[in-house]
Amino acid sequence: MVFKIADFLIPTLVGGITGYYTFMFISPGWSMMLAMLVGMLVGMAAQIPVMLIGMPLFGAFEIMLPAMAAGMLSGMLNGMLAAEFVLPGGVAFLLGSGIGVLVILYVQRQNRKLKGGVT
């Protein structure tokens, strides 16, 4: 049960943290391409501490793939939105967390498709 909770919480947390830090770094007026690249880098940096702490406890696949995807997608989307208009920190955190939830749902679906249904 702890593994299922961690599978859900880790990408959600990484996505939220990435969204918040992207909101802090990027301001309106940036080029969207540059904001997307900086957001992606922020997402990669945000998942490294989570990866180092979580991998020995929960395994590499369960931590690295969802956390990296959630961080990069959240950083890119929040970066482009922050470059377009002022994005409040709470909204950026919630948007990033939502992306983390979508990532873990997609990863779980694909994992189930590869392994087959649970019997």
pLDDT of 51 reads 87
Which residues constitute the domain of residue 85? 2-115
**Can you give the pTM of this predicted structure?**
0.86
pLDDT of 117 reads 63
Rounded alpha-carbon distances, angstroms, from residue 37 to 13, 52, 74, 77, 105: 21, 23, 12, 10, 25
Q: Which pLDDT tens digit goes with each residue over 67-110?
A: 999 999 999 999 999 999 888 889 999 999 999 999 999 988 98
pLDDT of 73 reads 93
pLDDT of 118 reads 62
In the chain, how many domains are there? 1
Q: Which pLDDT tens digit goes with each residue over 16-74?
A: 999 999 989 998 989 999 999 999 999 999 989 988 888 888 888 778 888 999 999 99
pLDDT of 1 reads 66
